[in-house]
Amino acid sequence: MIHAKGISILAATGLTVLGLGTVASATVSLVFSPPAQTVAVGDVVSIEVYAVSSSSSQPFAATDVLVSWDSSFLNPISYSNAGAGYSWGNSGFLFPTLNGSLYDGNAEWSGERQLSGPFPIATSSGLKLTTLKMTAVAPTTGTSVSMPLTLSGRSTRVFDSVLPNTNILGSVSADAIVTILLPTTHVLGTLDLQDTLFGGAFTRNISGWVKQGTTTVSSFTVSGISGSTVAFSNSIPGNFTGAATLEFDGSSFLKRRIDIVLNNGTMNVGTVNLTNGDVDNSGEVDAADIDQAIFEFGSTSDTTADADVNGEVDAADIDIVIANFGAEDDS
């Protein structure tokens, strides 16, 4: 039976007495966010946990959140309360039943209210409780992190702020899906477009490829180059590893080929020098290039015969061709 004193306390909370000790409280659902994410092997996976009220707001006293995951893809579990919407009196993996090992694919995170402070309040937009963290250890097209209702005699629960030991849990989250990729290889460096001035308004574009044998595993373009040197970078999917070639070609520059090894890491190849003078893009600096530069002599159009990119085909461009006469593409 509810005493008169108890009724006045309940009335002060704004809750409605239904009779014989039952009280109308809003339910509080527990939700994972984001619902899906893609990471690379070695990355830390962060999954935030929110308390969402079925009404505008609902105080609660504590919560237990069961978590289950595939330990062959994600391990171990930890947590961080940084950025949480409430400062817990006590929180973490508090109870030993599921927390004897944080590597075995199950755990229980708990949050308990401040003993002399305010209650946490779930809202319709969600109160952030904590952030669960796991390390991605193997690639997969999708592995689930779930929130079971019960596990090994423990339950996912939200405890009412008024009636002790009353569970006001609404629903538990749908699984959070984590896709894990092999880490990419990041190739970076600097192109040196030799014998260029860039004195005019024109720019140059250089195409790049990463190949394994005859298979192109990645392609990119360094575009709008307006100086003799320019940085480049490219990311190669992690499923490609081992020996490869990095190739560059474009404008009046001969093709350059560099041997690299795709290692799922960052590779700085340094400065790549591009030899100038192949104005007809034949793969060799020869008499035909001299002839074309002479034929276009005086042109102020954007043309590969303007080898030094000073805005005009002039004697300097012919000199560049002659200086590099006989040079060929990398074989």
What is 27-181's CATH number, 3.40.30.10, 2.60.40.680, 3.40.50.1820, 3.30.428.10? 2.60.40.680
Q: In what order do the strands lie in the sheet with 242-250?
A: 215-225, 204-212, 242-250, 253-262
Work out the number of other CB atoms within 10 angstroms of the CB of residue 274.
23
pLDDT digits 0-9 by tens, 123-169: 999 999 999 999 999 999 999 999 999 999 999 999 999 999 999 99
* pTM greater than 0.75: no
pLDDT digits 0-9 by tens, 166-191: 999 999 999 999 999 998 999 999 99
Q: Where are the domains of the chain?
A: 27-181, 185-323
**Dihedral of alpha carbons 162, 163, 165, 167, sign:** negative
- Are 234 and 220 in contact by the 8 Å Cβ rule? The answer is yes
Q: Which fold has domain 185-323?
A: Immunoglobulin-like (2.60.40)
Exposed, middle or buried: residue 69 (CB in 10 Å: 0-12, 13-18, 19+)?
buried
Cα angle: 16, vertex 17, 23; to 5 degrees: 85
**Dihedral of alpha carbons 210, 215, 216, 217, sign:** negative
Q: What is the rounded CA–CA span in Å between residue 130 and residue 50?
A: 8
pLDDT digits 0-9 by tens, 243-285: 999 999 999 999 999 999 999 889 999 999 999 999 999 999 9
Q: What is the rounded CA–CA span in Å between residue 136 and residue 72?
A: 9
Q: What is the rounded CA–CA span in Å between residue 71 and residue 105?
A: 5
27-181 and 185-323 share one fold:
yes
